[in-house]
C-alpha cells in the first residue's frame, strides 16, 4: 500500500515502528482500565524511559536522543492513536522541560534534564491560574527575592502531571508593577517546603492523565532556580508554546487516526439491511472525509514541526495553525466514529466512546482554539501591514 510520502528519515520510521508496537502491545490492552480507574500510567512511562523515548527531545549531552520536533511528534502521534490520556502524560514532560532547555544554564540543564532523559523523573509546566486562563497576563502568583532565595506565593490550576512530576517549570511575577514584563520562570522541585498539591481533578476525558493544582505558600526556592533572567518569563512561555503546539496537533492526528481505524473495522463487520454498513455511500463519505482531513492535518503538523526547528518570525502562526486544524479534525473524527458505531459507540464496551470524551481537551488546552485563531489572525494582520506596497 502506497503511503503519503512525508520524507521521513530512516530514524523517524524506526521511531514510528517502535512507538506503534508499544501502543499496540502495551497501551491498547490497558487503556479502558486506566480510564475507568482514573489511574496514572506510571508503569507505561517507566517502560518508555527504558526504551529511550522519554529522552527523545532532549539533547544527547544530557543523555537524550537529541531528536527533532518532528521525531517527538511522531512518537506523540502514535501514542495518541491508542490513548491521549497516556500521550499527554508523556508529552507534558517536554512542555515542562522547554523553559529549562531554552533558558537554563549548562548546570541547570545537566541537573534537570539528565534524570528526565532516562525517565527517572517527570516534569510539568505551571502557567494557568484561576484568573489567568486564556489571558496569561492575569497571573497573580508572586516570587519575591529575599537574599539568596525567592519566596513564592500563589496557586497554579489544572497542571498536567501535577503531583506526579518531580520537576516543575512555574511562572511567577517577580515585578508586579511591570505586568507580564515582570514575569519569570522558576524550576521548583516536588518536596520543596511550602509547595503542595490540590486534589486530582475529575475530568470528562483523559482520565489516565493527572491534573492538579500547585499550591505555593511562602515556598522558598533557591535564587539559582530562576530560569534565565527576571522578566523573561512571558517571552519564554510564548516560545514554549510555539514549540509545543505541534505536539497537540500530533495528538489530534493520532486520535483521529485511531477513530478512523476503529470506525472502518467496525463498519466492515456490522451488518444491517443485509450488508455491511460500510457499503452505504453515506458511511463511506464520512470515512472518506475523515481520512482526507487526517492526512491534511498530518501534513500540516509535520511541516509545522520542520518550521519550528528552523525557527524565525512567523513560527507562532504556523504552529497555531497545526494545533487548531488537527484538533478540530480530531473532534470531528471522534463525533463521526461514534455515529458510525451507532448505539454501541455510546457505550464503554467500545473505545470510541472514550475517544470522543478525550478529544474535547485538544481544543482547550495549550491555548483554546479561539486563542489559536486569534494568534493566526493577529499574525496575518501584522504580516500584511508590514508588506511594502
Ligand X SMILES: Cc1cc2nc3c(=O)[nH]c(=O)nc-3n(C[C@H](O)[C@H](O)[C@H](O)COP(=O)(O)OP(=O)(O)OC[C@H]3O[C@@H](n4cnc5c(N)ncnc54)[C@H](O)[C@@H]3O)c2cc1C
Task: Show which residues are catalytic.
Answer: 366
Instruction: Say if residues 132 and 140 touch (Cβ distance below 8 Å).
Output: yes
Which 11-50 positions form the footprint of ligand X (CB under 6 A)?
Answer: none
Residue 364 touching ligand X (CB under 6 A) = yes
Kindly tell me the burial class for residue 349, based on how many C-beta atoms sit within 10 Å of its own C-beta (0-12, 13-18, 19 or more). Answer: exposed
DSSP-derived 3-state class of residue 184:
strand
Residue 146 neighbours by CB distance under 10 Å: 9
Which of ligand X, another protein, none does 47 bind, CB closer than 5 to 8 A by kind? another protein
Q: Which does 18 bind (CB under 5 to 8 A by kind): ligand X, another protein, none?
A: another protein
Choices 33-41, 261-269, 295-303, 363-371; region in contact with ligand X by CB under 6 A: 363-371
Q: Is residue 133 part of the contact set for ligand X (CB under 6 A)? A: yes
Q: Which is nearer to another protein, 22 or 216 (CB)?
A: 22
127 touching ligand X, by CB under 6 A: yes
Query: By CB under 6 A, which span of 16-24, 308-316, 330-338, 365-373 interacts with ligand X?
Result: 365-373
| Minimal CB distance residue for ligand X | 133
Looking at the DSSP assignment, which residues form a beta bridge with residue 159? 212
* Distance of closest approach, residue 381 Cβ to ligand X, in angstroms: 15
**Which residue, 26 or 357, has its beta carbon nearer to another protein?**
26
Nearest approach in angstroms of CB 24 to another protein is 10
Kindly report the number of other CB atoms within 10 A of residue 93's CB atom: 28
Task: Rank residues 14 and 135 by Cβ distance to another protein and give the closer one.
Answer: 14
Number of Cβ atoms within 10 Å of the Cβ of 1: 2
| Residue 160 in the binding site for ligand X (CB under 6 A) | yes
Instruction: Give the position of cell 511550602.
Output: 194
Rounded to a whole number of angstroms, the minimum distance from the CB of residue 326 to another protein is 24
The grid coordinates of residue 252 equal: 489530534
**Cα distances (angstroms) measured from residue 150 to each of 144, 180, 225, 258:** 5, 18, 9, 46
Nearest CB to ligand X, comparing residues 64 and 162: 162
Burial label for 177, CB within 10 Å (0-12, 13-18, 19+), is exposed
Binding-site ranges for another protein (CB under 8 A): 10-11, 14-15, 17-18, 21-22, 25-26, 47, 50-53, 56, 65
- The region of 2-10, 119-127, 218-226, 227-235 touching ligand X under the rule CB under 6 A is 119-127
125 binding partner (options another protein, ligand X, none; Cβ < 5 to 8 Å by kind): ligand X
Give the shortest CB-363-to-ligand X separation in angstroms: 9
Is residue 246 within 8 Å of residue 323, measured between CB atoms? yes
Cα 313 from Cα 148, distance rounded (Å): 37
Name which of 16, 40, 35, 26 is nearest 209 in CA terms.
40
Closest contact distance (angstroms) between CB of 52 and another protein is: 4
| CA–CA distance, 242 with 237 (Å, rounded to integer) | 9
Within 8 A by CB and 6+ apart from 149, the residues are 220, 221, 222, 223
Please report, as ranges, the residues that interact with ligand X according to CB under 6 A. Answer: 92, 124-128, 133-134, 158-160, 203, 211, 361, 364-368, 370-371, 374
Amino acid at each position: 500500500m502506497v503511503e503519503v510520502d512525508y520524507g521521513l528519515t530512516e530514524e523517524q520510521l524506526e521511531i514510528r515502528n517502535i512507538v506503534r508496537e508499544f501502543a499496540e502491545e502495551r497501551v491498547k490492552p490497558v487503556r479502558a482500565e486506566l480510564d475507568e480507574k482514573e489511574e496514572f500510567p506510571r508503569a507505561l512511562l517507566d517502560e518508555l524511559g527504558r526504551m529511550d523515548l522519554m529522552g527523545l527531545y532532549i539533547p544527547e549531552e544530557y543523555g537524550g536522543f537529541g531528536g527533532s520536533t518532528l521525531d517527538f511528534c511522531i512518537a506523540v502521534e502514535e501514542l495518541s492513536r491508542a490513548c491521549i490520556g497516556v500521550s499527554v502524560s508523556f508529552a507534558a514532560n517536554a512542555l515542562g522541560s522547554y523553559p529549562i532547555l531554552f533558558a537554563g544554564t549548562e548546570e541547570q540543564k545537566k541537573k534537570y534534564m539528565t534524570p528526565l532523559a532516562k525517565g527517572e523523573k517527570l516534569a510539568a509546566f505551571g502557567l494557568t491560574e484561576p484568573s489567568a486562563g486564556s489571558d496569561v497576563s492575569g497571573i497573580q502568583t508572586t516570587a519575591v527575592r529575599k537574599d539568596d532565595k525567592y519566596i513564592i506565593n500563589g496557586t497554579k490550576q489544572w497542571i498536567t502531571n501535577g503531583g506526579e512530576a518531580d520537576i516543575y517549570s512555574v511562572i511567577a511575577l517577580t515585578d508586579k508593577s511591570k505586568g507580564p514584563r515582570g514575569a519569570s520562570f522558576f524550576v521548583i522541585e516536588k518536596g520543596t517546603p511550602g509547595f503542595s498539591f490540590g486534589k486530582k481533578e475529575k475530568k470528562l476525558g483523559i482520565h489516565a492523565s493527572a491534573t492538579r493544582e500547585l499550591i505555593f505558600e511562602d515556598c522558598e526556592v533557591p535564587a539559582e532556580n530562576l530560569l534565565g533572567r527576571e522578566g523573561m518569563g512571558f517571552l519564554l512561555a510564548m516560545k514554549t508554546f510555539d514549540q509545543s503546539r505541534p505536539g497537540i496537533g500530533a495528538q489530534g492526528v493520532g486520535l483521529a487516526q485511531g477513530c478512523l481505524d476503529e470506525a472502518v473495522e467496525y463498519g466492515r463487520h456490522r451488518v444491517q439491511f443485509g450488508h455491511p454498513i460500510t457499503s452505504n455511500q453515506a458511511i463511506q463519505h464520512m470515512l472518506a472525509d475523515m481520512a482526507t482531513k487526517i492526512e491534511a492535518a498530518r501534513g500540516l503538523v509535520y511541516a509545522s514541526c520542520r518550521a519550528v526547528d528552523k525557527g524565525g518570525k512567523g513560527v507562532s502562526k504556523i504552529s497555531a495553525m497545526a494545533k487548531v486544524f488537527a484538533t478540530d479534525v480530531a473532534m470531528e473524527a471522534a463525533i463521526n466514529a461514534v455515529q458510525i458505531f451507532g448505539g454501541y459507540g455510546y457505550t464503554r464496551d467500545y473505545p470510541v466512546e472514550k475517544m470522543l470524551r478525550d478529544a474535547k481537551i485538544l481544543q482547550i488546552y495549550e491555548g483554546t482554539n479561539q486563542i489559536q485563531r486569534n494568534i493566526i489572525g493577529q499574525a496575518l494582520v501584522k504580516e500584511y501591514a508590514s508588506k511594502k506596497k
